[in-house]
Amino acid sequence: MNYQFNTQFWQQFGLIAKPYWFSGEKRKARRSLLLLIFLSIISSGFLVLETLQRGEILSGLAEQNYSRFLQATLLFLGLILIGVPSLAFNNYIQSNLSLHWRRWMTRNFLERYLDHQAFYHLNTNSEVDHPDQRISEDIRAFTQQSLYFLVLIFNAVVQLILFIGLLWSISHFLTLFLVLYALVGTLIATVVFARNLAKINYVQLQKEAELRYGLVHLQDHAEAIALYQGQSQTSQGLYNRFLQVYQNFSRLIKWEFNLSLFQNSLQYITFILPVIILAPSLLSGQLEIGVIAQSESAFGRIWFALSLIINELEQLSALAASATRLFILNQALNNSDKLFYKQTIKIQESQQFNIENLILKTPDYQKILIQNLSLIIQSNESLLITGASGVGKSSLLRAIAGLWTSGEGKITRPQREQMFFLPQRPYMILGSLRQQLLYPHSESHYNDEQLLHVLNQVNLPHISTQFGGLNSVIKWSQVLSLGEQQRLAFARLLLHQPQYAILDEATSALDEENEELLYQYLQKIEINLISVGHRSTLLKYHQQVLELSENFNWRLMASQNYYCSDSNP
Ligand SMILES: Nc1ncnc2c1ncn2[C@@H]1O[C@H](COP(=O)(O)OP(=O)(O)OP(=O)(O)O)[C@@H](O)[C@H]1O
């Protein structure tokens, strides 16, 4: 991980920042950026002229010259009329542009996160922790802070150019002294503080994400934790997560304290420096008092420009941490299909279904689950997969889906759109009952009557009225029993009517009567089944049985023979 502001860091930064400015929105984005730069010039010009006029007002007063005083005051008021709206508009454009940038980046990351099911693979990669936080928090910080610094640096450069002339005309020595002073300060700040602060900020983001994840986990598993009476263990776990946040933040506070000492020491000396250096010229009558005020202002502005890194080091370190986290996520998303696993099991799409010499391993390649499996499922046949817990039944389904590719051999199967998977744990989306039924599609080709009919078919005639109709949005996973959720999942399957239904213990929570009802519907509409299950009652819906056993052994037989064999389920 890179915590230094070196070339590599800036390359990574550029890689994250660049795409938006070359995207379909580039014209609008660049126009806003140009406007922002223009407003920055106006605002900086306003600051120079306003400084000069303030000096003039003071000099007019000291000289007791009424017309000089009046002219300077009127000019000052005129400047305010132009300058103040420019400053406000400047902020408005900056916030707006960063919001658009954030929208674009969020969409871009989200699309790639969901594309090719990268979210599934990323979950098993420890380097890319908490992609949720990277997509929400880090993108927000990155877009806001990048523009903030861009404007700040631009303002600094403009003010440097404008004020350095003014200060140079007052005192060469003062100008040179200030430049040297700021350079030495920046060097010390970068070497001593920057690297440590960026690292601590990076860890802070990580720890905050872990704490938030723990709290969300508690919310998601509230019932299980309450039934186990696991509150004290959970509370301890959450507090431990918070302690890590606390400890790292304490380190951050200490470093910020040291930085603040350093910043303030440098800063306060600059308040008195111009007066000390120019005092002899003022006392000897060479300079007016107004010039001292002008030089103080110019000195302050130049100091602001030159000490940008020193003064903004905390923010810069936070930006560096977010940029690094986004860079890592970006890289993982770009390589999600090849980064984590070697693609070894071949998948071929066809109307046939067969498996040839399959060796299936866990994604970390540490354990062989199935060795040399070959089978054919005829177009009018169904397959029941059975075997002891943990032998690899669900993993075989993952390989068929293309989620796990670790191993060897070839799987020939129809396109994914023609296959419908019901996973072991029913998945209830956050949405209405209608969306629940239509999932994973969002557009409905079905009217209310058809949706209610399918609910009836899966023996859930009551849930629509019980929970406020098809459009009511509630936490379905909390209000429906496991068996009801499994029946709702079947309703989805009946609506979609795929060529193949892949059922991973999809009726495990149902009584035999309900299970029979659902399987009979599937048989009636002639969907090919690949089921994982333990009950002998399932045998009659499948023509073949694949039994997996320990030490990656397997046997395949016709279901009627399996029924008679001595190790039937
Ligand atoms: N992401 C993973 N990384 C490494 N190993 C895994 C992963 N997921 C599962 N495994 C391991 O793979 C083996 C097979 O798991 P699988 O879920 O296929 O078992 P199963 O036969 O379906 O069991 P059950 O009947 O209990 O659902 C298990 O030993 C499990 O620990």
Q: Which domains does the chain have, with CATH numbers?
A: 91-334 (1.20.1560.10), 346-564 (3.40.50.300)
Q: Which residue has the tokens 């062989």?
A: 368
Q: How far, in Å, is the centroid of ligand 1 from the Cα of 551?
A: 14
Rounded distance between C-alpha atoms, residue 306 and residue 318, angstroms: 20
Q: How far is CA 513 from CA 271, 461, 483, 538, in A?
A: 86, 16, 12, 12
The amino acid sitting at 316 is L
Q: Which residue has the tokens 């990656």?
A: 552
Q: Is the CB of 394 under 6 A from ligand 1?
A: yes
pLDDT at 383: 95
pTM score of the predicted model: 0.73
Indicate the SS3 state at residue 528: strand
Question: What is the pairing mode between strands 431-432 and 473-474?
Answer: antiparallel
Rounded distance between C-alpha atoms, residue 161 and residue 504, angstroms: 70
Q: How far is CA 387 from CA 240, 324, 345, 409, in A?
A: 40, 46, 22, 22
Q: Percentage helix, strand, coil, to 5, in the chain?
A: 65, 10, 20
Beta bridge partners of 377: 353
Q: How far, in Å, is the centroid of ligand 1 from the Cα of 480?
A: 27
pLDDT at 2: 53
Residue nearest to atom 16 of ligand 1 (CA): 392
pLDDT at 568: 47
Write out pLDDT tens, residues 50-107.
Answer: 878 888 898 889 888 999 899 999 999 999 998 888 889 988 999 999 999 999 999 9
Rounded distance between C-alpha atoms, residue 105 and residue 108, angstroms: 5
Tokens of 446: 């079905």
The segments of the chain whose pLDDT lies below 50 read 339-340, 566-569
Which of 117, 370, 394 is the pocket-test mutation for ligand 1 (most atoms within 8 Å of CB)?
394
Q: Is the CB of 2 under 6 A from ligand 1?
A: no
pLDDT at 566: 46
Rounded distance between C-alpha atoms, residue 391 and residue 554, angstroms: 10
The DSSP H or E segment spanning 375 is strand 368-377
Which atom of ligand 1 lies nearest, measured to the CA of 398?
Answer: 18
Rounded distance between C-alpha atoms, residue 188 and residue 192, angstroms: 6
Alpha carbon 533 to its chain's center: 37
Q: Is the CB of 388 under 6 A from ligand 1?
A: no
Tokens of 70: 């009046």
Q: How far, in Å, is the centroid of ligand 1 from the Cα of 391?
A: 7
552: left (phi over 0), alpha (psi -120 to 50) or beta: left
Residue nearest to atom 10 of ligand 1 (CA): 362
Q: What is the ipTM of this complex?
A: 0.96
Question: What is the pairing mode between strands 544-549 and 553-558?
Answer: antiparallel
